[in-house]
Amino acid sequence: MNDRLRPAHASRSVAVKARLDYPVIDTDVHVNDFAPALEDYVQHYGGAALVDALRKALGGRFATRDGAGRDWYQQTPAERQHNRTLRAPWWARVTRNTLDLATYTLPDLLAERLEEQGADYSVLFPNDVLAPAAAGDEFRQPLHRAINHFHADLYRKHAHRLTPVAGIPLNTPQEGIEELEFAVKTLGLKVINIAGGVRRPIAALAEKYPRAQHPEVARRASYTDFYGIDSPYDYDPFWAKVVELGVPITTHYGSQGWTGRSSISNYMFNHIGHFADGSQAFAKALFFGGVTRRFPGLRLGLLEGGADWGAHVYIHLVDRWEKRNRNAVQNYNPAHADLDLLASLFERYGSELTKGRPLNRETLLRDSLGISALPHSREPEGAELDDFAAAGIERVEDIRTRWLDSFYFGSEADDRTVGAAFNTRANPLGAKVNAIWSSDVGHWDVPDLTEPLAESWDLVEQGVLSPADFKAFVFGNPYRFYTEANPHFFAGTDVQRKLSTSTHGA
């Protein structure tokens, strides 16, 4: 190959890799689809109408529009203000680095350059695998099926070092089960990607403003169903099928457009932290809904948000449970106030406040606490009183098990906040959070495919991570994530071959 097109050089990451005696597993590589080849598969599954649906879904995936259907870039500043049109991303993919652009589109080139990147195995997230979620109900399932079939065929010959995820729709549990079984049993795919939530209409508003007559109200008046709590559907059959088939779940669920992330002018304002917020809502729903209690074998990778939020939530789950478990919450029950003692203390110390007025013992508690002391129509009981009831939390160790065992947190290579995952002094019970190395190559935050592993090693040299933390980050935690869901996940791969010749295991 022409040297100008394919420069042969030892990258910084190759130098880092040379000193390691264990494999490197990249849990998050984004690749592009060559549109004509993909559309051949889509055509097979649904003809020209499905191809058109794919193009519309791709064109509208990030776009927000006004009532006339014009996206942000077609509107004037005044129109954006009037419609509160969310600023969408732009220039989101690598282009100036043309070699990398081709690498993310050509599977043979990606497989060849994996050594240059410093990875032994990569899990691929084709950018188009997320597109069908933007399609209508009629097209969502066939689009998922066509796109998954295309990716399974495209990367099959590189299965020893590359595997693409299967996109799974979850508007209903049954829909998810059908596509999961097709992806795993028919196509042989072994990792799935889901949206962390589904937008649904608010029933009371949908009845008052039917979608056909009020499409704008229907578009804006909705809520997010995070599956695990407050859902109109029982998703347990889907989680059970995932565990039965031995499939790790991943998500890149974001929160752009949510309150606090809805700037009409600044993409970065909307972007920073949005993956962490979106995944946090999804993960908390599964925890508080008892999903991780009922399905302890479920393994979920929450990608692109970093691992520090996983430590943050773990710490606060413990803090809050200690203050508001079903016994401790009685500290705040108005019924347990000693009204005689309260009155005597007012008599002794409160003359400046009471100004000689006689104390009314019947209203003294209310007068002291304000409106928060007013009685409810009835007192909460059972699970209403204990927010941790469905999660089955009886002791701090249960929180550690049902949060830290189930969830793995994708951190990008240069993310210094990953240090929080390994901070055993701050994390309750001296625990470490499952940070997994997620390079995110293929997106705008990685302009050079060869840099991420070296950037993560820079954190060791800067004292953010220890060498042991680094090993857990790029190998140990990713290996456990996949093999705890499926012990045979790496059978026949470069990871298995490297481990078989190494004196150091997982």
pLDDT of residue 448: 95
Stretch 402-415: mean pLDDT: 97
pLDDT of residue 476: 98
pLDDT of residue 382: 78
SS3 of residue 57 by DSSP: helix
Model pLDDT for residues 108-117, shown as the tens digit of each residue: 999 999 999 9
CA 497 to chain centre: 31
CB 317 within 8 A of CB 428: no
Stretch 333-347: mean pLDDT: 92
More reliable by pLDDT, 289 or 8: 289
pLDDT of residue 1 exceeding 60, the answer is no
Residue type, 362: E
Model pLDDT for residues 57-76, shown as the tens digit of each residue: 887 666 677 767 788 888 99
Look at 208-217, 241-250, 314-323 and tell me which has the smallest mean pLDDT.
208-217
CB 305 within 8 A of CB 438: no
pLDDT of residue 69: 73
Burial class (CB in 10 A: 0-12, 13-18, 19+), 7: exposed
pLDDT band at 374 (very low <50, low <70, confident <90, very high): low
pLDDT of residue 392 exceeding 90, the answer is yes
CA 57 to chain centre: 21
How large is the C-alpha radius of gyration of the chain?
26
More reliable by pLDDT, 150 or 135: 150
Stretch 433-459: mean pLDDT: 95
pLDDT of residue 62: 60
Stretch 406-418: mean pLDDT: 96
Mean pLDDT, all residues of the chain: 92
pLDDT of residue 375: 67
Could you say which architecture CATH assigns to the domain 23-33+95-323+393-500?
Alpha-Beta Barrel (3.20)
Q: Hey, what are 422's tokens? A: 């390994």
pLDDT of residue 179 exceeding 70, the answer is yes
Stretch 266-295: mean pLDDT: 95
If residue 287 lies in a helix (H) or strand (E), which one and from where to where? helix 274-288
pLDDT of residue 362: 84
Contacts of 116 (CB under 8 A, 6+ apart): 11, 13, 14, 449, 450
For 370: left if phi > 0, alpha if psi spans -120 to 50, otherwise beta; the answer is left
Burial class (CB in 10 A: 0-12, 13-18, 19+), 412: buried
CB 201 within 8 A of CB 258: no
SS3 of residue 65 by DSSP: strand
More reliable by pLDDT, 92 or 182: 182
Stretch 432-447: mean pLDDT: 94
Model pLDDT for residues 463-505, shown as the tens digit of each residue: 999 999 999 999 999 999 999 999 999 999 999 999 998 755 5
pLDDT of residue 174: 97
Counting residues of the chain whose pLDDT is more than 70, the rounded percentage is 95
Model pLDDT for residues 17-33, shown as the tens digit of each residue: 999 999 999 999 999 99
The residue extents of the domains of the chain are: 23-33+95-323+393-500
The overall pTM is greater than 0.85: yes
pLDDT of residue 4: 43
